[in-house]
Structure 1
Amino acid sequence: MRVVSISVNGLEKAIADGFFKWLAKQDADVVCVQDHRAKAADFDDPRFIPEGYEAYFIDAENPADGGVGVYTRQFPKAIMYGFAYEPADREGRYIQADFDDVSVASVLVPSALEAPERQADKDAFMEAFMQHLQKTVRKRRQYIICGNFQTVHLVTDASPRYHKLEVSGFLPHERDWMDEIFETLGYTDAFRYINKEGNQYTWWPSVLSGSRRHAGWRTDYQILTPGIRKTIENAYIDPDTRFCDHAPVVVDYDIGN
């Protein structure tokens, strides 16, 4: 089972810039997208759906807040829109597709990097989502949660040029939140399970660095409940794509749908 996660920074523009052409070569079973910036009615248009896939999306009241979605080759058993946290549900920040063997979710954490006044909103989301993760890890069902977490976990996930900056996405309490996910709750960072090397980034913040030629951050993850950790076969980031300002995270799992 191949799962792709990508924060598209506007789905319509990403498609125009080659997203679906790239996707056609990936043979992905499930594709989680974040930050689509569209309304639900837009997805009735076939141009938003790649050939061979079903599409499920949740939108935000204000399209600028993002919205998330899932493309899947197989019909899911169920779709869950939101995770019972009203601000996140209103902003279209979580969607989950349930299959026979696993559930796959797409999540978009709020950003406060360019809007420090939104740090309180981000912190509140993180607290609510932690509660959701605590409940999820206790279930018998296994989960792959894909998303743009707007946060760097380890110092190796960001260029040294950012290590002394006090900016949202690299604040101590945000990184402690990531520690709790992986160390206390026992979730697995699928990419890091395979790849321990440095300089593995998924986003190059223009507000800090200017362009992708400069150092970046790894803010995009696929996190797993403990029961499927050993099913990870391969994981990589494709930094050569240019259809949006994030790079896709691709993970292969030895599990069915």
Structure 2
Amino acid sequence: MPFPLRVTTLNLNGIRSAANKGVDDWLRSQARPDVLCVQELKALEADMTPGLRTLGGLHGAAFQHAEKPGYSGVGLYWKHEPDDVRIGFGHAEFDAEGRYVEAIYKRPGGGRLSIVSAYFPSGSSSEERQQAKFRFLADFYEHLLAL
């Protein structure tokens, strides 16, 4: 992995909508990321056309789609193949909502670099979702400590 590294993150509010609005052209001509983190795919695996799998001319990708159609979902795109990819962070409630994907790069001389695309629950729609957000934050904090 060459350094410096250009990482771009985008909340797409729907990958198909973003593609129709020209996000691919913008990524290629303006952002030119080495790694692209995306949130709110709002697409299932079956919806991911070849063009949606290679945004910005990036060669590799990994996604965690929500089980519920049209809901959340995250992805990572990269120029340089990671040494490992993790889909989800091991908490069934939130993994089913498509909230975490991680690319892991080994560093020369030891250590590693983890690049994470995560989509946190807002909790604003109801008290139940607010409690889910608090559970997510607690679980995610423990996950980060273990990285």
Q: Tell me, in whole angstroms, the C-alpha distance in 2 between the residues paired with 1:2 and 1:112.
A: 31
Amino acid at match of 1:9: N
Report the TM-score when normalising by structure 1: 0.50
Equivalence for 1:7: 11
Work out the CA distance in 2 between the residues paired with 1:52 and 1:126. Answer: 31
Pairing 1:40–2:51 present: no
Q: Which amino acid aligns with 1:29?
A: D
Query: Number of paired residues?
Result: 135
Counterparts of 2:102 and 2:58, CA distance in 1: 19
Matches within 5 A, 1:1-257: 1-25=5-29, 26-43=31-48, 45-48=49-52, 49-50=54-55, 51-101=57-107, 102-136=113-147
**Residue identity matched to 2:44:** K
Q: Which stretches of structure 1, 4 residues or more, deviate above 4 A after TM superposition?
A: none
Structure 2 alignment gaps of length 5 or more: 108-112
Q: Residue 89 of structure 1: CA displacement?
A: 1.0
TM-score, length basis structure 2: 0.85
Once residues 123 and 81 of structure 2 are traced to their aligned partners in structure 1, the CA distance between those partners, rounded to angstroms, is 35
Deviations 1:161-194 (A, max 9, x none): xxxxxxxxxxxxxxxxxxxxxxxxxxxxxxxxxx
Alignment match, 1:220 = none
Give the superposition deviation at 1:39. Answer: 0.8
- Structure whose CA Rg is larger: 1
Higher relative contact order (CA 8 A, sep 6+): 1
> Does the 8 A contact of 2:39 with 2:72 survive in 1?
yes
Percent identical pairs in the alignment equals: 35
Q: How much is the aligned-residue C-alpha RMSD, in angstroms?
A: 1.4
Give distance in 2, aligned partners of 1:124 and 1:3: 28
